[in-house]
């Protein structure tokens, strides 16, 4: 059955940035597809709600502070013995004009979004069995511009696309680990909510053919696809989920 390829029964998935927004939606969707979860976030106090969502879906989850990538993977191995899926979702985004952005601010955003994804992928890539999947969360801002001054964020997300491609070439044939990028458009989350009623409404009207923000489950379904055997012949690719924004 084709739908069986989307199942993640018996799989263990790590989701970083799992305390809010898309990270919560990703964790819930993976659990509903059958995976057990290791949930990472800097705000560990907020992970309890995500753990409950996973338990409500009938799966097991643990919450771990994710500042230390190797410790997060070690916790997954201690609890479950294996890691099959990584969703590299942790990240930050700010709006700062390029002429006024301090060097430390730019470096911090690159460090969290790009370097954090790399070290997390590296830690998982060392222990994942063949057939595993890494989903690096990029952004449409790695592919296009939307008129907001976000040089650091755009640079980090464009770099994630290149990172995923390189890791796919290194690891898919040799280790059996697929690596892909998911590039979301605009979804209503803590990061985007301040723009609702202002520039986001204008952006949707002018640039999004579907004429609305995305629903969290629409992005989460794409993560399940990339994490599961439904995408077993997909690696080194970028899956854009943006309502058509990058087509305009």
Active site residues: 153
Sign of CA dihedral 156, 186, 223, 77: positive
Question: Which is nearest to 207 in space by CA: 159, 244, 155, 179?
Answer: 244
* Rounded Cα–Cα distance for residues 163 and 158 (Å): 9
Contact 212, 244 (CB under 8 A): no
CA distance 54 to 60: 7
Reading the block at residue 182, the tokens are 């998911």
Closest of 136, 114, 94, 143 to residue 242, by C-alpha: 143
C-alpha distance from residue 72 to each of 19, 38, 183 (Å):
15, 8, 24
For residue 186, give the nearest of 135, 238, 139 by alpha carbon. Answer: 139
Q: In whole angstroms, what is the distance from residue 131 CA to residue 117 CA?
A: 20
């Amino acid at each position: 059955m084709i739908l069986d390829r989307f199942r993640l029964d018996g799989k263990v998935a790590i989701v970083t940035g799992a305390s809010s927004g898309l990270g919560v939606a990703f964790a819930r969707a993976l659990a509903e597809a059958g995976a057990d979860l290791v949930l990472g976030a800097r705000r560990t106090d907020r992970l309890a709600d995500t753990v409950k969502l996973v338990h409500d879906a009938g799966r097991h989850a643990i919450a771990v502070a994710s500042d230390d990538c190797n410790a997060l993977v070690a916790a997954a191995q201690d609890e479950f013995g294996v890691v099959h899926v990584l969703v590299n979702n942790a990240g930050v985004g700010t709006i700062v004009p390029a002429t006024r952005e301090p060097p430390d601010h730019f470096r911090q955003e690159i460090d969290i979004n790009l370097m954090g994804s790399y070290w997390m992928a590296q830690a998982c890539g060392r222990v994942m069995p063949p057939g595993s999947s890494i989903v690096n969360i990029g952004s449409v801002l790695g592919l296009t511009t939307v008129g907001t001054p976000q040089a650091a964020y755009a640079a980090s997300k464009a770099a994630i696309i290149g990172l995923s491609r390189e890791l796919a070439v290194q690891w898919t044939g040799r280790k059996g680990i697929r690596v892909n990028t998911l590039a979301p458009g605009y979804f209503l989350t803590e990061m985007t909510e301040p723009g609702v009623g202002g520039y986001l409404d204008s952006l949707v009207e002018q640039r999004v053919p579907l004429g609305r923000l995305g629903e969290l489950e629409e992005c989460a379904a794409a993560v399940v696809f990339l994490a599961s055997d439904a995408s077993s012949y997909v690696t080194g690719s970028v899956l854009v989920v943006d309502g058509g924004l990058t087509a305009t």
